[in-house]
Amino acid sequence: MVARIGRNQVITVPFKYNEGKINTGRARCLYAGNFVKDLKDLSRKDRLYHFTRLASLNENVPKAGLHFSLNFHPSDKLSDAQLVEISRDYMDKMGFGEQPYLVYSHTDVIHPHVHLLTTCIQENGKKITIPKSQVFYSQQISREMEQKYGLAEPGKRDRMRDRTREPLTIQYGKTETMPALSNVLDKVIGHYKYTSLEELNAVFRLYNAEAYRGKEGSRLNTYRGLIYRVLDEKGKSTGSQIKASAFDSKPTLAKLEKQFQINRAETRRLEYAQHIQAAVDWALLQRKLDPAGLQKALQSQRITMVRMKEKETGEERLFYVDHQTKAVFDARQLGERYHGKGLEQRCVPALTPEQQQAQEQKRIQQQRERDDRSLEL
């Protein structure tokens, strides 16, 4: 279980976020703790009123809204009752057990998770302080609750920490398109440093996803629309296509273009480029590598080489995705030595299947000769 703590200037922001999820069928309110009425008797207005009333008792607190999230491994199959029980236990241990709070279950991403909404202002107007040490205490609580409720532990292979850090590769037909794409968007758009739609798609391609503007001259392209879609193993679109405006984060073309400008102005972008150049140079300096060998060597340094063909020209383009710095580069930005013929000349030619077979036979023969000499001795 991974617990996260968020603070908000006003309680209405996280409240509208969670209630908005309910409106689109991607969340449910499971429990209302310490309200004067039961959940079934509370209107949306009632729920918000209790929070705003408490916040008004101490207007000197800059961030009165608290937004906890409890994230579970996909293998944790938890009922609504179990989610409520775990949420109540967590709030008690964190010192908010007597505060009014709401428990929302979200269903828009692959791993199960709940959001807990409350305020740090008590009935007497005093603030419940969350010191920095409380964040560490939250981690301790998570470890205890994993043992208590039999939850998957983070930190191990294919455990929660790995699953929440990077989205799962989408496999059409095995996961619902909307939640799967939403998971990828949440993990990529706000974290990686891309300066064009092509660079963003280089990251999306790793998860079998794509942001698509439509063909030149099409209605979608003319009116600057953007859709997101799932790709099959050959890079072809499959399944339904979803408009950018349908996602909560609204990752429209206009919004992405603003992010392109911000990332282009990133003061450390030259440093990020030099990091990738150094990794390529070092890999090729240590030993002779064919293109596949170079890709494997870079992968060990958390840099992925992504090759994509332009839909209009069929030209293959190379992109570097650095998962450590989160920077993405069109290889042409790094210079001639890092793409096309310049890179090919620095690598040894890739072996044909026949050459690979001959090489393997030679290796086997050499091993037999060594074994024979060993027996003679």
Domain edge (last residue) among 98, 124, 159:
159
pLDDT at 162: 41
User: 358 pLDDT exceeds 80?
Assistant: no
Query: What's the whole-number mean pLDDT along residues 239-267?
Result: 92
In a shared domain, residues 208 and 143: no
Q: Which are the contacts of 322, defined by CB distance < 8 A and separation ≥ 6?
A: 272, 275, 276, 302, 303, 328, 329
Last residue of a domain, one of 159, 190, 222: 159
pLDDT digits 0-9 by tens, 104-125:
998 766 568 899 999 999 999 9
pLDDT of residue 196: 96
Residues 35 and 113 in one domain: yes
Judged by DSSP in three states, 144 sits in helix
| Residues 115, 64 share a domain | yes
Among 264, 297, 326, residue at a domain's last position: 264
pLDDT tens per residue across span 269-283: 999 999 999 999 988
Each residue's pLDDT tens digit, 31-75: 999 998 999 999 999 989 988 898 889 888 888 888 898 988 767
Please classify residue 181 by burial: count the beta carbons closer than 10 Å to its beta carbon, then call 0-12 exposed, 13-18 middle and 19+ buried: buried
Whether residue 143 is found in the same domain as residue 12 = yes
Residue from 283, 288, 284 nearest 348 by CA: 288
Residue pair 197/213 in contact (Cβ under 8 Å)? The answer is yes
Inside any domain, residue 147: yes
On average, the pLDDT of the chain sits at 86
Let me know if residue 167 belongs to a domain.
no
The band of 220, judged by pLDDT with boundaries at 50, 70 and 90, is: very high
Both 258 and 276 in one domain: the answer is no
In a domain, 210, yes or no: yes
Residue 146 belongs to a domain:
yes
